[in-house]
Amino acid sequence: MWPFRKKGPSGFSGSSTAEEVTQGIDASDLTAIVTGASSGIGTETARVLALHGVHVVMAVRNVDAGERVKESIIKEIPTARVDVMELDLSSMASVRHLLPRILGNDKIEMQFATNHIVVLNVLIWCKYHFTVLRSFSFDKPVVGYYEENSTGKQERSYNSIYAYGQSKLSNILHAKELARHLKEEGVDITANALHPGGIATNLSRYHGFLHAVVNSVGKLFLKSIPQGAATTCYVALNPQVKGVSGEYFSDCNIAKPSSMANDPEMAKKLWDFSMELTS
């Protein structure tokens, strides 16, 4: 059970909440773009960041839902700086439309903007288009995996849980390769990946069997939403993470990902292919 998890080197654990891991931090000089902020851990992440003075840009598909969340945050935190902007993560055109609006409205520093535009485009494209079983298929940007049939012929299949898991693998590979590029170029920006943990959110509605498990015994072993948002807020704000880049976090501590996620050759290949696709 989460309350009995041991604390890691950071002093936090899987039972820590987003407010606990950011207590006493002033981040009023920061701007954060939070995707998926209209529900679940995205909403909690936006709320806690705003609580610490961050200018929060809620990038959401459903603007009405986003506005309702914004109202609830401002009601709780009258000084909160929150904007809602439309973003459909499945559309590259939507991503490109969002970024100039943010740059124009908020005058984000240009060096950050130039690097981050590339980063965000690549990250989003990877998340939704490269998910295969044992390795990435760089000749076909599709979501799915490849397996051999009885004749030895490669055929594409699709499994939603596998696709989701492999999309997360692409995030880790991308963060590590991005950190390497930033370090080589001498850019003072860090890039990390994280796993929020098993959380009882609406995400499970897309997987029938998983949804049934969550609604029964699963909730006994899953994190609450405040606990689920903790690692994101920790990596974003906690001074312990200052200067840390290219790492993978879980339960508010540096963790060891799979051997595939640590494969520098695959990370570089994914980066190069992603850059080609996103022009």
Residue among 158, 162, 164, 234 flagged as catalytic = 158
Q: Does residue 162 carry a catalytic annotation?
A: no
State the Cα–Cα distance between residues 106 and 85, nearest whole angstrom: 13
Residues forming the active site: 158
